[in-house]
Each structure stands twice: as C-alpha cells, then as structure tokens.
Amino acid sequence: MSLITDSESLSSFCKKVAATSDFITVDTEFMRETTYWSELCLIQIAGEEEAAAIDVLSNNLDLSPILDLMRNVSITKVFHAARQDLEIFFRLMGEIPRPIFDTQIFSMVCGFGESVGYETLVRSLTKETIDKTARFTNWKQRPLSTQQISYALSDVTHLRVIYKRLLQMLAKNGRTDWVAQELEVLTNAQTYLMEPNESWRRLKHRLSRPRHLLILREVAAWRESEAQRRNIPRTHVLRDQALVEIATQAPRSEGALRALRGLKSGLPKTERLESLLAAIKRGAELPENMAPVLPDRPKKDASMEATRDLIKILLKHNSHEHGVAPKLIINADGIEKLISRDNDISEILSGWRYEIFGKHATKLLEGNLALGTNGKHIKLIDLGHLL
C-alpha cells in the first residue's frame, strides 16, 4: 500500500515512473453530489513497477509533478471510461493529457460490446474480482482507511494487465485505428468546456415552437451559468421541468413566476430572480429566425419502421460476428440517413465500416439480401443470383 501525502515523495514517485515506464494507468476518486464541478479527492497512478495513491487533499501538496507526467507525450496515459477523469485534468491543466488509451473504447473493437464495465474487463482479462466494499465510500473523509487505499490502488494495478492484454488483441486484429473518431472526441477540449448556450440540448422536452425554444435556450444558459458560478448542481438552481414550463409560459414578472407549478419551491433569491427574468425577456424578444434548430425526428411510417428494424437486426448480427460494438459502426442518426436513401452510402459508411456492414446494408435496402434464421442464428441470404 502506498499513499503519498507530501510534495517530496510525489516528486520522487513521478520521476521514477517517468524513467521506468512508457505508460501509466490513471484513475481518480472524486465527489460531485453537492457541487457542479467534481471535487478531486485522490489520484491513483501506476507505472510498470510502481503504484501510488496521491492524497490531493493533503496540505500544501504540489501537484506539478503529476501534471508534468500528464504532459509528457512519451508516456501513454491509460484510463477506463476516461471522460470524467479527463474533465478533472483539463480543469487542473487547461489542456488534455496526451496520448490517451481508454480501455472502454478500445475494448469495443475487441469483442466486449458497448460501454463495457471495468469489473467485466478485470474478470475477463485478469481472472480476478474487485472488492466492491469501498466503492461508495466518502473520499473526502480523512484519514483514509487501509481498505479504501487498497481499493483505489487496485483500479490502476488491474488496469496495467488490462492495457497489455488489449494491446495484444489489437496487434492481432489490427483495429487500433477503428476508434479514431471516439478518441478524437475524448481528446478535444470542446468536449469539456460546458458552454452554457449549449446546455439546452441536454434537456428532454417536446417543444418545437421557435419562441419556446428561444426562451428554453436562454433560461437553460442562465441556469448553467448560475450552477457554474455557485458550484452547485444544475437542479439545485432550477429543475429541468421548471425550465420547460418557463419556456412555454414565458412569465415576465416575479408574480407570474411564482404562479408556475414547477417553481412553487426553489424560486431563486431576488438578485438572481432579476437575472432569470432578464433571460426570459431575451428569449421572448429575439427574432424567431434565431431559434435553435432541432434534429429531424425519425419518420413514423410503417414501411420505414420495418426497414429500420431490419437494418438494426443486420447491424446486431454483423457487429457480433466481427466483435465490434454496434455504435462504433453506425449511430442512430446514421441509421436514419441510411434508410431514407437521401445520402450516398459512402457519406455514411466508408472504410472498415462499409466492409463489415455497409455493403450488406446496401444489398438489404436494394432487395438483394434477405435475413433468415435456423431457430438459433441469423443467416444472411444473398438474393442477387436469383434475380
């Protein structure tokens, strides 16, 4: 067990790791229940030989050696489901660590399906199990117990084995480049900027009128800015349903706001109430041609539904056959473009995606491929020679 609580030990550890490893496995423990931004509590790092948990809550701990390690482009940083960890490092560093290897992403081209859990990879690739007893621990509480530290370190020590096994599998199947798009999103700073003006896109709603969408965008941006400024969860400012209700009712006074069912509890204080009303006013007065454009919804047509179902069955069959997660091949938007026949297939599926799915999808849509079953397995039946 190795817990680092002082700057000298941290500097020594990072220098040793940098000198002996061409990769590091990384994990973080944080709390986010009552804050907007993650509260970092612990960083775990392992190299080829060394492993340590760094107590970032220790007094006067200088994290510069860790950040230098993260900036070292000669060392691959290995994470599992890296997005939240990278968000933390982006806020610490102002940049994304590079190069990155995300075991959840690369496992999608190694037969493990979509969004495989860490526990599954540990069990499958290391033949060990994870002690879950410390999973929901309070990582802000000090001192940390031996059990907590052991649990935290196991995340990065198991990850070493998983990383090496996945590298072996990728060397055999030659699919390292197949996840380039996913890694590009993961390492793009725009992914972590939390732009208030884009926050409306995360809301579930049925609004379609331009005026409603304009107000929704403005009040959602107001909520996001408030949550960031005060470092509290979005829903502690206003609930999602309250935003939708404001967008449809467009209240222009404190009294009108208080009359809304979704705001009877949790109405902002006076100074924040004024800025909320100003956001509503902006949305109500902007020209309707400035309203955000919603993505097209799938057409509700019986024949299209049947075609969509067939394409999804083919996708599931082919992705399983090739050991690739379906969403890596084509997403829901791509499926809609495919069945609409409005786009050239090369614009939707190219390269390896066309080879393992696109050419069969084309034949299916042209009536030259049928799907059959022997009761247990799906079979592809080429009809071209029968026509």
| pLDDT tens sequence across 65-105 | 999 999 999 999 999 999 999 999 999 999 999 999 999 99
Distance of CA 305 to the CA centre of its chain: 29
Residue found under tokens 């994990």: 27
Question: Phi and psi of 129, rounded to 5°?
Answer: -125, 160
Distance of CA 351 to the CA centre of its chain: 25
The pLDDT score that the predictor gives to residue 304 is 86
User: In whole angstroms, what is the distance from residue 316 CA to residue 325 CA?
Assistant: 9
List pLDDT tens digits, range 304-335. Answer: 889 999 999 999 999 999 999 999 999 999 99
Residues of each domain in the chain carrying CATH 1.10.150.80: 196-290
User: In whole angstroms, what is the distance from residue 170 CA to residue 191 CA?
Assistant: 26
**Fold classified for 196-290:** DNA polymerase; domain 1 (1.10.150)
User: In whole angstroms, what is the distance from residue 23 CA to residue 107 CA?
Assistant: 18
Q: Residue 374: pLDDT band by 50, 70, 90 thresholds?
A: confident
The pLDDT score that the predictor gives to residue 310 is 95
Which is more confident, 1 or 225? 225
User: In whole angstroms, what is the distance from residue 311 CA to residue 330 CA?
Assistant: 11
**Fold classified for 3-192:** Nucleotidyltransferase; domain 5 (3.30.420)
Mean pLDDT score, 197-221: 95
- The reported pTM is 0.90
Residues of each domain in the chain carrying CATH 3.30.420.10: 3-192
Cis peptide upstream of residue 251 (ω within 30 degrees of 0): no
CATH number of 302-386: 1.10.150
